Amino acid sequence: MAQIIDGKAISAAIKEELKEKVEKLKEEGTQICLAVIQVGSDPASSVYVGNKKKACAYIGIDSLAYELPEETTQEELLNLIDELNEKEEVNGILVQLPLPKHINEDRIIQAIDPKKDVDGFHPQNVGLLCIGQSGFVSCTPAGIIQLLKRSGIEIAGRECVIIGRSNIVGKPMALLLLRENGTVTIAHSKTKNLQEVTKRADILVVAVGKPKMITREYVKEGAVVIDVGIHRNENNKLCGDVDYDDVAPICSAITPVPGGVGPMTIAMLMYNCVEAGTKR
Ligand code: NAD
């Protein structure tokens, strides 16, 4: 039977650790504060923003919410970011993506002070990760490293294959697994003979954005399978990029959807906020 990697339990443990740390910091006179900006009222974004605010409240981090109308201009958003960059009491700035089409996301990400970039998307933080120096790391892949480590799964020397090369998941995932001394391959939409590549994996991370695409034909017996995908199926139930029922019986460990990678993203965002309030 595959080990089911319990992202709910692991994220809860991380949140407890952070809560204790934040309490101690408060006693020493340090209050951590995250500014969350949402432009427009996309329902999925509103849910994500709401969950982030809830996590802040639970851990003891102050959160400032900026709910801006859809027609906010790029310049107005840049002005707000400048203001928050200057505010000493604000440790982290998060702009919920996606932004409305008239706003250039890259331009916005680059405007955030890298020391407050708790999403880890700023090119300076991506560059630091690339050269193995400390900086903020994108929350979802950072959470996956925690899932592996806290489940006792060895990374060093193992074949790691990632399906997907996005800036938010696939690429930073590859760099983090490399940092942990894995032998790393990135597969993507132009990869030839995908099944041959993925079957080499001892650790297979799937961030392809296609519901239940990965069946057992893609997976080596005994592999560890990490499913990043989140989708709603025809019955409005959550499912991942991996066909869980088909794959789970042949692997050594697997993350479920929901309750696997998902809860880790917010836990690591909280981790980055605490880092922002202490180290930098
Ligand atoms: P994306 O769409 O930016 O990237 C998908 C990647 O998959 C691309 O690099 C593409 O090259 C590759 N790809 C597409 N079709 C392929 C195919 N047939 N064969 C091989 N490769 C293929 O997606 P993303 O932002 O990296 O997210 C991936 C999934 O993870 C989505 O389902 C998303 O909702 C989910 N996600 C979850 C979390 C979380 O917190 N759990 C966070 C971010 C993203």
The verdict on whether 52 is a catalytic residue reads yes
Class of the domain covering 139-261: alpha beta
pLDDT tens for each residue of 132-188: 999 999 999 999 999 999 999 999 999 999 999 999 999 999 999 999 999 999 999
User: Is any ligand 1 atom within 6 A of the Cβ of residue 230?
Assistant: yes
Residue nearest to atom 33 of ligand 1 (CA): 229
Query: What digits encode the pLDDT tens for the residues 249-263?
Result: 999 999 999 999 999
**For residue 49, what are the CA distances in angstroms to 22, 56, 129, 217, 260?**
21, 11, 26, 37, 20
Q: Extract the tokens encoding 156.
A: 């060093």
pLDDT at 280: 52
Four-way CATH pick for 29-114: 3.10.129.10, 3.40.50.300, 3.40.50.170, 3.40.50.10860: 3.40.50.10860
CA of 209 to the centre of ligand 1 (A): 4
Compute the average pLDDT of residues 89-110. Answer: 97
Q: Which residues, in sequence order, are CB contacts of 51 under 8 Å at separation 6+?
A: 266
Q: Look at residue 27 and tell me whether its pLDDT is greater than 60.
A: yes
Ligand 1 atom closest to Cα of residue 208: 7
Our answer to whether residue 26 is catalytic in this structure is: no
Average pLDDT for 4-33: 97
Listed by start position, the domains of the chain span 29-114, 139-261
Whether residue 234 has pLDDT greater than 90: no
If pLDDT is split at 50, 70 and 90, which confidence band does 45 have?
very high
The dihedral over CA atoms of 241, 244, 227, 12, expressed in degrees to the nearest 10, equals 130
Confidence at 16, pLDDT banded by 50, 70, 90: very high
Is 124 annotated as catalytic?
no
Same fold, 29-114 and 139-261: yes
